[in-house]
Structure 1
Amino acid sequence: MNAVIYARYSSHRQGEQSIEGQLAEAKKYAETHCLTIIHEYIDRAQTGRNDNREQFQLMLADAAKRAFDALIVWKTDRIGRNKEEIALNKYRLKKNGVKIHYIAEMIPDTPEGIILEAVIEGMAACYSEQLSQNIRRGQRASAAKAQSTGGNRPLGYKTGPDKRFIIDPETAPTVKLVYDLYARGQTMTQIIRTLNAKGLRTLRGRPFTNNSLRTLLKNEKYIGVYIYKDEIRIEDAIPSIVEPEAFYKVQEMLKYNQKAAAHKNSKADYLLTEKLLCGKCGQMMVGVSGTSKTGTRHHYYYCTEQRKKRCCKKPVRREWIEGLVLEYVVALVQNEDLLDFIAENTYQYYLAQNTDTSYTESLQKALEETEKATANLIWAMEAGIFNEATKNRMNELDEQKEELKAALSAARLREDLGLKKEHILYFLHRFAEMDCTDEACRKQLIKTFVNSVFVYDDKVVLTFNYSGDDRTITLHEIDAGLQQGVRLPRALCHHEKACNHNGYRLFSCPLTLYALVTL
């Protein structure tokens, strides 16, 4: 398989050694797994808290072109520490046929691996939040002095030597022009056309758009008000560019001119996308919508083969099928015995696969090499070789040594703490406490636990990520499983209830865990 490497380090106490270590381990991993590396994507000094990284986006674009088959990364947090973005990016890669290989986190290609991966993603998000607390503390200290915090400087200002805002004589006239034109009654479109025709640009050097213009028109900094999030507000802390009378007149005009956004054609979110399959032909069912004579919009799932006249399965209402699936998923995660069983199996996978200490060893080796280089440089200086170059090199080695020591301490701490069965149980118990009316919670429940849902005319078969592999179960395997399945012991069955259905059975076979719902 053709593979690419994606490597990243943040600007926080990390350096080029981190990239070199990731690349070296990735090449070693590729060699042992019969992967051919055809390209390397590297983002230097880029945070993992969002995916707006040049090389990362280039990698996603190349994946969409089917340029490679596999992606090798150090850990889940190389993709990002924001769960929503991680899920979206992983979906995009999977959609384009790209398999992700983690070097330092041996995640099995099984349903237990899905749960383990979700736990690791949660721990990465927690680690990221702890890491960013120190940065936010420093930003709050700067904000208390009305200083720039890095991302809050608007067009029209520069940052002075003391990190305070000062008026930029080159761009401040653009701000005044915008306020003047809007106060005189010009529309946003007219102002944008005027600014771009004059070659005037935003702070990032881009042409003006509706969003950038609206942000500029609502920024209180232009009347001297310093604002940091919702925590700090200081009047007269910045030299003003716009007169208060003009600013407040514009605010009233904005409110008057703003139109309510139309929601009639808003796109519905289909929770069972790629998981709902037809019980007649086994093909995927996709979300569609239609408007009735009364103007009400209805949402359905329908079989993709129906359009080609190859299947006669009737569409099913989205609200009904999603509600039914969630009902049984919630019942599943509320069973203590079953959760303990899942946690134990997941933990055993973790113990078997995550005993690798190569990352810590590579950091230790890099530290030893840095200390050796420092010793050689000291020897040269003692021999009388001392100039600006040796001084700069010594400073560089000292910085590298501190970065490596910090990274090594963090790596050893993570090894010492490790992942415990209690962590997985805590993670699983959180599902039982979720508010199923919340859209994000519903998505997470289905993503983590549901493998596939087959809809027949007289029954619905739910398969859960429980054991076996994580590929979607086929219709043939479902029909075979219904014949050979074994009813689970009562201790591992959630409480039986009729609800709005005639009943159900919960049983397992070598492939998966089934819930058979009779309609």
Structure 2
Amino acid sequence: MNNTAIAYYRYSSHRQGEQSIEGQAAEAQKWAKANGYTLVKEYADRAMTGTNDDREQFQLMLKELERLHPDVLILWKVDRMGRNKEEIAFNKYRCKKNGVKIVYVAENIPDTPEGIILESVLEGMAEYYSLQLSQNIRRGQQASAAKCQSTGGNRPLGYRTGADKRFEIDPQGAAIVRQVFDRYVHGESQAEIVQALNAQGLRTLKGKPFTHNSLRTMLKNEKYIGVYSYKDTVRIEGGIPAIIDPQTFAKAQEMMKKNKRAPSHRWSKANYLLTEKLFCGRCGGMMVGISGTGRHGDKHYYYACTNSRGERKVKVGCQKKNIRKQWIEELVISHTKALLHNRELLEFIAENTYQFYLSENTDTAYTDALNANLKDIDKALGNLLRAVEAGIFNDTTKTRMNELEDQRKQIQAALARSKLQEGLQLTKTHILYYLEQFRDLNTDDTECRKRLIDTFINSIFVYDDKITITFNYSGDNRTVTLQEIDGGGFDCSVACSTI
């Protein structure tokens, strides 16, 4: 039976062309064929931002991991998994939990110590680039907002964008908006209105059925009384044509306040930082997070060997004692911080990672594909110009020329972005600087502690009389053995339950 793979592609309309997805797909298919994988499904988000992971096809891909059970997920680069460390880490965890290996065709990162360090550096660069790009976009959007123009994602149902990029009323959508406000101020509940709208076959601006959230967003939107707003910086009354009168809108706001439900309280479970890195020295089984309640009702947190609990205890019968969560995590954090103050060792890690980066990141397939598509578009435009010169000019010709010009601009923007990234190529100094930043992390913060462990810790084995920590770098001294274990971290004095 063939190994199976899925692939995900994305492009953003403000900086890339549709062709960039074709280039990504071609390389993914090429990689799958070369490595003996059957590509069973492909996902693509078109004209979607990469600054967060709230993308329809991306979320569908994550949801279908459990159903499809692919061996590999093929991506173009790290930034397709999200544009900040938290999103990337969470999405990678979902893949790992389902046994899916991630492959980046434009950033060859194998499962080696240098590969793990490099991936962490590239995630940091993706986050930096996303912030830089967002700043540039915000400047342009700020200028548009000052003119009460659409900035792309701020158009609600009931409006359309005119030739001058300003909002104008869409009669069909506006009728739905008026129906919603009229029903609500006359006493119908949001649930009743949602049901009525969907029963009529009406849909949101994105073509989806109405929900409680989409209805609530509509009822709170000041644009419907003519107020143009952009983030917290621009607010212009009368900036757009009103659909709802101020009195009706005010009444709806008052009714929402009265109908607002108290927020539910959520129980927050402990964050076990060493999950999937901590192993039992007796049997080799993974140690997982558990909790227990003491005699006085106070909560305690531990790591326990999976072979010492439940059905596994009967089959394997491991006698490993539970180990206190705080104790083992503090021990690992302290030794990792000590590593970061070893200048010679950091130089060694940075050099190995840089040499690996040089050997694996010389692929120009993406820009080659963009340039080839740009050449085809220039050729098509040339043919159309000759047709115009010959007197053939109609609505179809004009529409096609506009489409090609738009595609040309998009590809040129994508090439410019690639050139910018080439200007940000990694050097050993970049990598060393990135690694040194971990020295200043606030290790009282859970997310910072998790980043430190995910980047530098490969595995930890807990024995009865010692602990071995293996770090993410090559060399004979990458494993540290701690012999002086006083037993203070081991405990099984309370009844525990797996979290």
Tell me, yes or no, whether TM beats 0.5.
yes
Measured after TM superposition, the shift of residue 199 of structure 1 is 3.9
Give unmatched runs, 5+ long, in structure 2: 486-499
User: Matched residues in 2 for 1:198 and 1:52: separation?
Assistant: 28
Worse overlay, 445-454 or 95-104: 95-104
Partner of 1:168: 174
The amino acid across from 2:344 in the alignment is D
1:219-246, CA deviations, whole angstroms, 9 ceiling, x for partnerless residues?
Answer: 6667776543333345676755446874
The amino acid across from 1:342 in the alignment is I
Structure 1 residues 52 and 313 mapped into 2: Cα distance closer, same or farther (>3 Å)?
A: same
Partner of 1:82: 84
Structure 1 residues 252 and 98 mapped into 2: Cα distance closer, same or farther (>3 Å)?
A: closer
User: Matched residues in 2 for 1:408 and 1:260: separation?
Assistant: 47
User: Matched residues in 2 for 1:447 and 1:373: separation?
Assistant: 50
Measured after TM superposition, the shift of residue 516 of structure 1 is 2.2
Other structure's SS at 2:102 match = strand
Q: Does the 8 Å contact 1:154/1:203 carry over to 2?
A: no
Partner of 2:374: 367
Measured after TM superposition, the shift of residue 343 of structure 1 is 0.6
The amino acid across from 1:6 in the alignment is Y
Partner of 1:491: none
The amino acid across from 2:232 in the alignment is D
The amino acid across from 1:400 in the alignment is Q
Measured after TM superposition, the shift of residue 364 of structure 1 is 2.4
Partner of 1:481: none
The amino acid across from 2:174 in the alignment is D
The amino acid across from 2:58 in the alignment is F
1:435-477, CA deviations, whole angstroms, 9 ceiling, x for partnerless residues?
Answer: 1111211110111111112222222221111127xxxxxxxxx
Partner of 1:158: 159
Measured after TM superposition, the shift of residue 390 of structure 1 is 3.8
Partner of 2:325: 318
* Match of residue 445, structure 2, among 427, 438, 447: 438
* Match of residue 127, structure 1, among 126, 129, 149: 129
Structure 1 residues 397 and 224 mapped into 2: Cα distance closer, same or farther (>3 Å)?
A: closer
Q: Does the 8 Å contact 2:462/2:468 carry over to 1?
A: yes
Structure 1 residues 514 and 59 mapped into 2: Cα distance closer, same or farther (>3 Å)?
A: same
* Match of residue 20, structure 1, among 2, 19, 22: 22
Measured after TM superposition, the shift of residue 117 of structure 1 is 0.9
Partner of 2:192: 194
Other structure's SS at 2:82 match = coil
Measured after TM superposition, the shift of residue 312 of structure 1 is 1.5
Q: Does the 8 Å contact 1:108/1:349 carry over to 2?
A: no
* Match of residue 361, structure 2, among 350, 354, 360: 354
Partner of 2:5: 3
User: Matched residues in 2 for 1:146 and 1:397: separation?
Assistant: 29
Structure 1 residues 412 and 195 mapped into 2: Cα distance closer, same or farther (>3 Å)?
A: closer
Other structure's SS at 2:285 match = coil
Partner of 1:105: 107
1:71-116, CA deviations, whole angstroms, 9 ceiling, x for partnerless residues?
Answer: 2222122233232222222222222222222121122321111111
Other structure's SS at 1:170 match = helix
Alignment root-mean-square deviation, CA: 3.2
Partner of 2:492: none
Measured after TM superposition, the shift of residue 17 of structure 1 is 1.7
Structure 1 residues 88 and 100 mapped into 2: Cα distance closer, same or farther (>3 Å)?
A: same
Of structures 1 and 2, the one with the larger relative CO (CA 8 A, separation 6+) is 2
Partner of 1:92: 94
Measured after TM superposition, the shift of residue 216 of structure 1 is 6.1
1:119-138, CA deviations, whole angstroms, 9 ceiling, x for partnerless residues?
Answer: 11221222222222233223
* Match of residue 416, structure 2, among 409, 412, 418: 409
Other structure's SS at 1:325 match = helix
Q: Does the 8 Å contact 2:302/2:324 carry over to 1?
A: yes
Worse overlay, 333-342 or 56-65: 56-65
User: Matched residues in 2 for 1:418 and 1:88: separation?
Assistant: 26
Other structure's SS at 1:518 match = coil
User: Matched residues in 1 for 2:329 and 2:250: separation?
Assistant: 53
User: Matched residues in 2 for 1:31 and 1:248: separation?
Assistant: 58
1:454-493 to structure 2, matched below 5 A, reads 454-467=461-474
User: Matched residues in 2 for 1:197 and 1:35: separation?
Assistant: 46
Q: Does the 8 Å contact 1:217/1:250 carry over to 2?
A: no
Residues 1:449 and 2:475 are matched in the alignment: no
The amino acid across from 1:158 in the alignment is Y
Measured after TM superposition, the shift of residue 416 of structure 1 is 4.3
Partner of 1:68: 70
Structure 1 residues 335 and 140 mapped into 2: Cα distance closer, same or farther (>3 Å)?
A: same
Structure 1 residues 371 and 451 mapped into 2: Cα distance closer, same or farther (>3 Å)?
A: same
* Match of residue 232, structure 1, among 231, 234, 244: 234
The amino acid across from 1:229 in the alignment is K
Give unmatched runs, 5+ long, in structure 1: 182-189, 469-485, 487-507
The amino acid across from 1:436 in the alignment is T
Q: Does the 8 Å contact 1:10/1:46 carry over to 2?
A: yes
The amino acid across from 1:170 in the alignment is I
Measured after TM superposition, the shift of residue 62 of structure 1 is 3.0
User: Matched residues in 2 for 1:224 and 1:372: separation?
Assistant: 46
Residues 1:425 and 2:432 are matched in the alignment: yes
Residues 1:40 and 2:42 are matched in the alignment: yes
Structure 1 residues 367 and 242 mapped into 2: Cα distance closer, same or farther (>3 Å)?
A: same
Measured after TM superposition, the shift of residue 428 of structure 1 is 0.6
1:454-508, CA deviations, whole angstroms, 9 ceiling, x for partnerless residues?
Answer: 222222221111127xxxxxxxxxxxxxxxxx6xxxxxxxxxxxxxxxxxxxxx2
Measured after TM superposition, the shift of residue 177 of structure 1 is 4.5
TM-score (norm 2): 0.82
Measured after TM superposition, the shift of residue 344 of structure 1 is 0.7
Partner of 1:274: 276
The amino acid across from 2:270 in the alignment is A
Other structure's SS at 1:338 match = helix
Other structure's SS at 2:73 match = strand
1:23-72, CA deviations, whole angstroms, 9 ceiling, x for partnerless residues?
Answer: 22223333333333333222222222222323223322332124422222
What's the % identity of the aligned pairs?
Answer: 54
Q: Does the 8 Å contact 1:2/1:68 carry over to 2?
A: yes
Partner of 1:298: 300
Q: Does the 8 Å contact 2:340/2:439 carry over to 1?
A: yes
Q: Does the 8 Å contact 1:77/1:124 carry over to 2?
A: yes
The amino acid across from 1:108 in the alignment is P
1:197-233, CA deviations, whole angstroms, 9 ceiling, x for partnerless residues?
Answer: 5447895654543x56765676666777654333334
Partner of 1:140: 142
The amino acid across from 1:31 in the alignment is K
Partner of 1:331: 338
Measured after TM superposition, the shift of residue 19 of structure 1 is 1.9
Other structure's SS at 2:415 match = helix
Worse overlay, 270-279 or 383-392: 383-392
Structure 1 residues 304 and 365 mapped into 2: Cα distance closer, same or farther (>3 Å)?
A: same
User: Matched residues in 2 for 1:300 and 1:37: separation?
Assistant: 41
Worse overlay, 1-10 or 164-173: 164-173
Q: Does the 8 Å contact 1:465/1:513 carry over to 2?
A: no
User: Matched residues in 1 for 2:434 and 2:18: separation?
Assistant: 35
Measured after TM superposition, the shift of residue 382 of structure 1 is 4.8
Structure 1 residues 217 and 319 mapped into 2: Cα distance closer, same or farther (>3 Å)?
A: farther
